[in-house]
Amino acid sequence: MKKFNLVLAAMFIAFLSGCASTLPTGMIMTNLKLPVATTDASGPASKVGEASCTSILSMVAKGDCSIETAKKNGSISQVHHIDWQVDNLLGIWATYKVVVYGE
């Protein structure tokens, strides 16, 4: 039993240590704004378009968070750069938003 508790404690510590991943996430809450892509377009972008998706309990997800939808929502024909944002609270409620900047 003592070995089992030691193994269980080691697994718990390893879980909390946080391995490197492509997306930095918090165990309790995540609120991030990250870049996706950029083009060689110069100057400031004059238009912004957004598209979003929602997930509930990591079991049901709905929405269209594609770049094309964000371009359409912002009336953008030439993309300057693209960012994305993720908000997550305990895995209960999460939103993913793509933000396109352009002309």
Q: Is 16 within the bounds of a domain?
A: no
Beta partners for 55?
Answer: 61, 94
Q: What pTM does this model have? A: 0.68
By residue range, what is the domain housing residue 43? 26-102
For the stretch 53-71, pLDDT in tens is: 998 887 888 999 899 999 9
For the stretch 4-52, pLDDT in tens is: 666 666 665 655 554 444 455 666 777 777 777 777 777 778 899 999 9
Buried b (16+ CB within 10 A) or exposed e, 40-63: eeeeebebebebbbebeeeeeeee
Please determine, for residue 3, whether its predicted confidence score (pLDDT) is greater than 70: no
* C-alpha 98: how far from chain center: 9
The tally of domains found in the chain comes to 1
Q: Is 12 within the bounds of a domain?
A: no
